[in-house]
Amino acid sequence: MDILQLIDRLEELFNDSKSIPLTHNVMVDEDRMLDIIDQMRIAIPEEVKKAQQLLGQRDRVLAQAQEEANRTIEIARQKADQMVTKDMIAQEAQRRAEQIVAQARVETENIRADADDYVLDSLTQLQAELERISNQVANGIRTVRDEQSRRTPVSSQSAEK
């Protein structure tokens, strides 16, 4: 299950919970909440795998771009070598080869920058999502602990101390 769906289910559980009068607290169905938290624990590694796949895709794109650039450079060099035999043609070939090489380098850098931006954006979104989930889980734990401490009779608290 998608982590965002689990977050929606957790939020729905919170919204469906009964308010405790005169407080900002709610009573949450513990089994449902723990079930959602367990599902989140399973789903989060999947989100990390997705991020790793994005990194793998980025590396493949960069490798393809580098290979294309190398091929373009090699083609440019071959063309330049063939054209060097004649003076006028040789000068034009050199200029064109340099232009192709420069263009290939610019294209490679653009592809690399785009891939880096894409991966950075995806990882930033994933980080924000994970932080939000972590905060929600911490709030859920805190709420459950607060509820537990309120339900514990005063006499048993003093006996535990």
The CATH number covering residue 90 comes to 1.10.287
Residue 80 within a domain = yes
**Residue 138: is its pLDDT beyond 80?**
yes
Domain housing 95: 3-150
Residue 124 within a domain = yes
Residue 161 within a domain = no
Nearest one of 18, 36, 35 to 27, comparing CA atoms: 18
Nearest one of 9, 1, 2 to 136, comparing CA atoms: 9
- What was the pLDDT predicted at 44? 81
pLDDT in tens, 56-106: 999 999 999 999 999 999 998 887 777 666 677 777 888 899 999 999 999
Residue 156 within a domain = no
CB burial of residue 97 (10 Å; 0-12, 13-18, 19+): buried
Count how many domains the chain has. 1
